[in-house]
Amino acid sequence: MNFSNVLSPTSKANSTRLALGIELKTQKMSGDPELSNTLLRPILYAIYEASEQKEEENIDIVLEHLSENLTHEKYFSNRAIIVKILKFLAEKRKVIKPAKNYKVDVEANFADLLAEAIQNQKF
């Protein structure tokens, strides 16, 4: 796998990190089978989408989009893994030094919020 697809575009030697949802936005959502077919890409997009919402109540809309981007079957069969990935990303985002053009703590908070929302989802 070519990991450059998920690395920050501003990464330098010794400071390489996974790209933020805000950096990728809708890029590589399709067409790149190495990334678009993974759980990670739609999760990063969901974090970005959640951070763009004006109201926390809209988190259900973000979860519906995540489910659609993964396909409903893949979403429901991988919910526990999705929650683990979101919690991992939140934890790692909390130790990244913020930059002028993005707030890492915001992304960490939304990753936590999404993980909690998935855990509390009623069907």
Using CB atoms within 10 Å of the CB of residue 103, give its burial: 0 to 12 exposed, 13 to 18 middle, 19+ buried.
middle
Q: Average of pLDDT values for 33-48? A: 80
Nearest to 51 by CA among 99, 94, 112, 95: 112
* Alpha-carbon span 57 to 53, nearest angstrom: 9
pLDDT at 27: 59
Chain segment 4-38, per-residue pLDDT in tens:
455 555 555 555 556 666 666 665 555 565 666 78
Enumerate the domain spans of the chain: 30-119
**Range 75-83 contact pairs with CB under 8 angstroms and sequence separation of 24 or more:** 78/39, 79/118, 79/121, 81/39, 82/39, 82/43, 82/115, 82/118, 83/115, 83/118, 83/119
- The identity of residue 53, as a single letter, is Q
Chain segment 60-101, per-residue pLDDT in tens:
999 999 999 898 899 999 999 999 999 998 988 787 776 666
* SS3 category, 29: coil
pLDDT level of residue 2 (50, 70, 90 thresholds) = very low
CA dihedral 43, 36, 75, 116 (to 10 degrees): 0
Residue 117 pLDDT greater than 80, yes or no: yes
Residue 110 pLDDT greater than 60, yes or no: yes
